[in-house]
Amino acid sequence: MQIYGFPAIDGPGGGVKVAFFRKGVICTPETIDRTVREDEIREMCDRVAELLPALDGPCLHSATCMYSNTPDEHFVHRPTSGQRECDRCVWIPRGTASSSSLWSGEILADLATTGSTNHPISLFDPRRLVTK
């Protein structure tokens, strides 16, 4: 089971955010179950202890996280203007991991500041999802 995490921004006493990646039930904002169960917390703590023993500690807080995936589970990066390159556009990452990945952040910074990137990004083109 894959997990991901973020370091505490308020120091060591703030803990870290950890979560399972792509584990859950398909739902909508109206049907999501926002109850975090003890067995889910225990499973997460066990996984953290296995992979990151220095972080083995108590759960400080738990909450449900909802995010969406594309059908192929790859990110989507595109300018809000709908153009591939533009002088003044805002790049919006789509997908949870895309907004938190350093590699993805570098790509978005390149696109926002220069309009291009040296990284291969055709995989992130939203047109790949269009079926005819």
pLDDT (tens digit per residue) in 77-108: 665 554 445 555 555 555 544 445 666 778 87
The CA distance from 29 to 75, in Å, is 21
Q: In terms of C-beta density within 10 A (0-12 exposed, 13-18 middle, 19 or more buried), how is residue 20 classed?
A: middle
List, for residues 5-21, the tens digit of each pLDDT value: 877 777 767 788 888 87
List, for residues 111-121, the tens digit of each pLDDT value: 778 877 888 88
